């Protein structure tokens, strides 16, 4: 089973919707809609940090989620777990 964890950047707000996730970047006021259903879950940790968690045994689903998470990271909406945010 592959488990992928990312933290939502502190300047970004995210909420779950029926279609998946809605990101709001407070730095540039842009909205990003992510159609992922329930495959990527939100987790709210200590100190208010929001984390995205994906886990699956399905290789195709894992590859799709990995591509999506990489695109979100390139946009600066999320950072890999363990990466320092300043």
Mean pLDDT of 72-77: 94
| 68 occurs within a structural domain | yes
Mean pLDDT of 18-39: 93
Question: Comparing 14 with 5, which gets the higher pLDDT?
Answer: 14
Mean pLDDT of 71-86: 77
| 85 occurs within a structural domain | no
CATH value at residue 13? 3.90.930
The confidence score (pLDDT) of residue 31 equals 97
Residues in Cβ contact with 54 at an 8 Å cutoff, skipping those fewer than 6 apart: 3, 4, 39, 40, 41, 62, 65, 69
- Could you report the per-residue pLDDT of 34-46, keeping only the tens digit for each? 998 888 889 887 7
| 39 occurs within a structural domain | yes
The residue range of the domain holding 31 is 2-80
Domain count of the fold of the chain:
1
CB 70, CB 76: distance < 8 Å: no
The confidence score (pLDDT) of residue 82 equals 57
């Amino acid at each position: 089973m592959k488990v992928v964890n990312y933290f939502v950047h502190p300047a970004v707000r995210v909420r779950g919707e029926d279609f998946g996730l809605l990101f709001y970047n407070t730095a540039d006021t842009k909205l990003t809609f992510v159609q992922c259903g329930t495959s990527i879950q939100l987790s709210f940790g200590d100190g208010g940090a929001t984390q995205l968690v994906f886990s699956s045994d399905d290789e195709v689903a894992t590859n799709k989620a990995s591509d999506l998470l990489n695109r979100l990271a390139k946009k600066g909406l999320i950072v890999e777990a363990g990466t320092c945010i300043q």
